[in-house]
Amino acid sequence: MYRVVMLAATVIAVLAAAAPALAGNLTNYDGASWYEKYLSVSGAAPQTCNGNTGELGQLAFGNNVDASHECGSQSETSIAINPASSSNVIAGSNEIQRLPMRAMYSKDGGKTFTGVDLPLPPPRTKNGFDFGSDPGIAFDSNGTAYYSYIIVFFSSGGSINGTEMAVARSSDGGATWTPTFFAPQTGEGQFNDKPMITVDTGSAHHDRIYVAWDNATGNSSSTKNGNNVVLSFSDDGGRTFSTPVSVSGPFTGRTGGIGADPYVTGNGDLHVAWQDYAHLVIADAVSHDGGATFSAPRVISLVGGFDLGIAAEAVRRALVYPSCGSFGTSLYCSYANGSDAASSVFVAKSTDGGSTWTSKAMPGNGDQFNQWLAVDSANGSVNVAYYDSGTHGAAATRYTLARSTNGGKTYTATPVANAPTDESCCAPSVNLGNQYGDYEGLAAFGGVVRPVWTDRRQAVIDLGLREEVFTATLTP
């Protein structure tokens, strides 16, 4: 996610991304020492990236699959499993040196992925440009995929001159996408950020698509303006979306909302959780009428800060946000909490519709951050994936899965990444301004768990790649 507070750095990065001088190419293997290993893990003629554009052949390192296998940097991921055809998996990510969003689709159960760009609208002004950011992916019950993202418009000089929401839909498993653009705003004081999408696949609002995001109005640090969490829905397969309604409630003094995550319970209640950074809480509100109105926010947990400057992501800082799901009458929301010195991931549980919550720390002794939660509707397992540095203050991490099969009473954690990644060193091969980004993704369906994460392990560096999108197929 490109946070409002980091727009200046973002504009610089996007301007650099648009410069023709950064256009790269692929060159053939020239005798590097990794030749034999490369052949054994990929089965393809090796290539290396010299720039920010172009792709390699499909890469896999054991059960860790490089879904992006693409030059340049990617980060901030989402993933979903098609309930109508579980061999169809779609992941999405930000492109750091390129303007469009990226989708990576698989039709063989996650063994191989093909990358495609998501549509962008034309610039608002002559000689201007626009980019997409912040992926979220969900399927409806019929197997249509939906991909939410924001559009940010720039003038020719690089000033923000507009923003709007986007949801693209695909009925062919992710190969082609048709966009809907909505909720447009103009001016530097307006900004949509960090959308997330879900689909109600089982209640009275069957296959209703919900998108929640935070809308910045003016200076978010002022006492009169701030970030308002809003929501729109679609009942026509993503072709049109309703007028946004406030989730976080009317402004009373300084307010702040970021990292909204909508989720639907078995009885059709729509919940939205977010971080209220003005009051340093993870909040949750519920709608009993399909997103038309919402309750007053309830507190899931107090948190120690807007973000955490732990060693593994000290440059960008690790954003604090919720990721939630439900099974039966139980609600689950994960979040990171702590300080710059130490960060842990927690899962909060509610059995009274979100009125009260109790939290449990995930196993481990390292800094944990960028978590995502997925509840398997088939068996009720609660799955939480996150980066874990092993010890507090360490820079290298492994993406890790914690899992509960007893309703959140206990969790067992196992590394998913079979090699460490370090985003704290080695510029320019690592994008230190972006590092891991702000969030990663996770899907669970029918006993299969699919995490997705940003990875720049040594084998990736040896190929001339930067931050890559990795995933794995787990059947715990």
Domain with 204 in it: what CATH number?
Answer: 2.120.10.10
What is the predicted pLDDT for the residue at 445? 97
Closest CA to 336 of 378, 380, 377, 397: 397
CA angle 369/374/378 to nearest 5° reads 160
Report the Cα–Cα distance between both ends of the chain, in Å, rounded.
Answer: 30
135, 199, 322, 373, 409 from 147: Cα distances, Å: 7, 11, 19, 18, 33
> How many C-beta atoms surround the C-beta of residue 377 within 10 A?
17
What is the predicted pLDDT for the residue at 254? 64
What is the predicted pLDDT for the residue at 226? 65
| Cβ within 8 Å of residue 19, ≥6 positions away | none
Percent helix, strand, coil in the chain, to 5, is 5, 45, 50
pLDDT digits (tens, 9 = 90+) for 355-407: 999 999 999 999 999 999 999 999 999 999 999 999 999 999 999 999 999 99
| Cβ within 8 Å of residue 133, ≥6 positions away | 1, 2, 76, 94, 101, 149, 150, 152
What is the predicted pLDDT for the residue at 17? 34
What is the predicted pLDDT for the residue at 188? 61
Q: Name the β-bridge partners of 343.
A: 338
Parts of the chain with a pLDDT under 50: 2-46, 220-224
Cβ atoms of 94 and 83 within 8 Å: the answer is no
Q: Which range of residues forms the domain containing residue 141?
A: 4-472
Q: What would the two tokens of residue 303 be?
A: 């948190």
Q: Name the β-bridge partners of 77.
A: 93
What is the predicted pLDDT for the residue at 28? 30
Q: Name the β-bridge partners of 116.
A: 103
Closest CA to 278 of 216, 227, 325: 227
Burial of 455 (0-12, 13-18, 19+ CB in 10 A): buried
Q: Can you list the alpha helix ranges (DSSP code H) found in 177-323? A: none
What is the predicted pLDDT for the residue at 476? 79
User: How far apart (Å, rounded) are the C-alpha atoms in residues 359 and 345?
Assistant: 10
What is the predicted pLDDT for the residue at 160? 83
Cβ atoms of 452 and 468 within 8 Å: the answer is no
Cβ atoms of 343 and 367 within 8 Å: the answer is yes
Half-sphere exposure at residue 14, Cβ-oriented, CA atoms within 13 angstroms = 27
User: How far apart (Å, rounded) are the C-alpha atoms in residues 308 and 342?
Assistant: 8
Q: What would the two tokens of residue 463 be?
A: 């190929």
pLDDT digits (tens, 9 = 90+) for 202-245: 888 999 999 999 987 655 444 445 688 999 999 999 999 999 99
Cβ atoms of 163 and 153 within 8 Å: the answer is yes
What is the predicted pLDDT for the residue at 227? 81
| Cβ within 8 Å of residue 20, ≥6 positions away | none
Cβ atoms of 168 and 146 within 8 Å: the answer is yes
What is the predicted pLDDT for the residue at 203? 83
User: Helix count (H) and strand count (E) of the chain?
Assistant: 3, 33
Number of structural domains found in the chain: 1
Name residue 289's amino acid: D
Closest CA to 207 of 215, 198, 216: 198
Q: Which H/E stretch holds residue 16?
A: helix 7-18
Q: Which H/E stretch holds residue 442?
A: strand 441-445
